[in-house]
Amino acid sequence: MMHFDIEKFFVDAGLTRISTEDSWRGTYSIAGYAPRIVIHSYPGVGDVVIRRPDNQVLYVESKKGNLSKGKVSTEYGLMREAIGQLMTCERYSNFTELAVAVPHSDKSKELATRWSRLPQIKNSGIRFLLVNEAGNVLKI
């Protein structure tokens, strides 16, 4: 199972934790910037919430799991679950951006590329963020 160390990623990127909920949840900031990144586990809101200076709010639904090595695709279920959670987000407005973050694999890349072309995904504005073990993000 790929587990993304979000706290290490933030520290390496120059963010500082400014509030603590528990071992990984909390609010992070970068010195000199007003926007904050909030990591939480409240249902129906996205796992990561970023309010940008232009008042846009980015909700990211993140999923972790075993990457498929056989005929059964675990990525398919993870990504569909995240899309469903974003589509039922109760705080959605004209100022909302939506993204799905999942482990990077050939299958997740293939699904994200194919699904990002679907009219319902385009109309909702959902983006896909594929994260590898080093913390690099491929945006689709």
Higher pLDDT, 48 or 100: 100
Question: pLDDT tens for residues 53-81?
Answer: 788 888 888 887 766 666 667 889 889 99
The partner residues of 103 in beta bridges, in order of sequence, read 131
Q: What is the mean pLDDT of the chain?
A: 82
What was the pLDDT predicted at 118?
97
The CA-CA-CA angle for residues 57, 120, 140, to 5°, reads: 60
What was the pLDDT predicted at 114?
97
pTM: 0.76
Question: pLDDT tens for residues 118-131?
Answer: 999 999 999 999 98
What was the pLDDT predicted at 47?
78
Read off the tokens for 57: 């709010």
Cα–Cα dist 23/20, whole Å: 8
Judge contact between 30 and 15, C-beta under 8 A.
yes
Is pLDDT above 90 for 46?
no
Cα–Cα dist 70/128, whole Å: 23
Side chain identity, residue 19: S
